[in-house]
Amino acid sequence: MRHFKTLIVAGLAALSLVTLPTQAATVLLQDNFNTDSAASVLNFNTLNNWTVSNGAIDYIRNGGFGISCFGAGGCVDLDGSTGDGGRMTSKSVFNLLSSETYRFSLDVSGNQRNGAADSFVFGILGIGFDSPSPLNANAPFSTYIWEVSGVSLTAAQLYVETSSADNVGVIVDNVLFECLTCQNNNVPEPSVLALIGLGLLGLGFARKRA
Ligand SMILES: [Ca+2]
Ligand SMILES: [Ca+2]
Ligand SMILES: [Ca+2]
pLDDT for res 45? 97
Q: Name the residue among 25, 32, 27, 52 with its Cα closest to residue 141.
A: 32
Instruction: Using DSSP bridges, classify how beta strands 58-61 and 26-31 pair: parallel, antiparallel or unpaired.
Output: unpaired
Residue 24 confidence class, pLDDT cut points 50, 70, 90: confident
pTM: 0.78
Q: How far is the CA of 57 from the centre of ligand 3 (A)?
A: 12
Contact 166, 83 (CB under 8 A): yes
Q: How confident is the model over 162-182, as pLDDT tens digits?
A: 999 999 999 999 999 999 999
Determine the pLDDT at residue 148.
Answer: 96
30 CA distance to ligand 1 middle (Å): 11
pLDDT in tens, 81-114: 999 999 999 999 999 999 999 999 999 999 999 9
Instruction: Report the separation in Å between the CA atom of 82 and the middle of ligand 3, taken as the mean of its atom positions.
Output: 12
Ligand closest to CA 167: 2
Burial 154-182 (b: 16+ CB within 10 A, else e): eebbbbbbbbbeebbbbbbbbbbbbbebb
Closest-approaching ligand to the CA atom of 65: 2
Residue 183 confidence (pLDDT): 78
Residues with CB under 5 A from ligand 1 (ion): 32-34, 69, 73, 75, 173
CA-based nearest residue to 97, from 157, 181, 18, 158: 181
Residue 173 C-alpha to ligand 3 middle, in angstroms? Answer: 17
* pLDDT higher at 24 or 140: 140
Please report which confidence band the pLDDT of residue 79 belongs to, taking 50, 70 and 90 as the band edges: very high
The predicted structure's pLDDT at residue 184: 54
Is pLDDT at 10 greater than 70 in this prediction? no
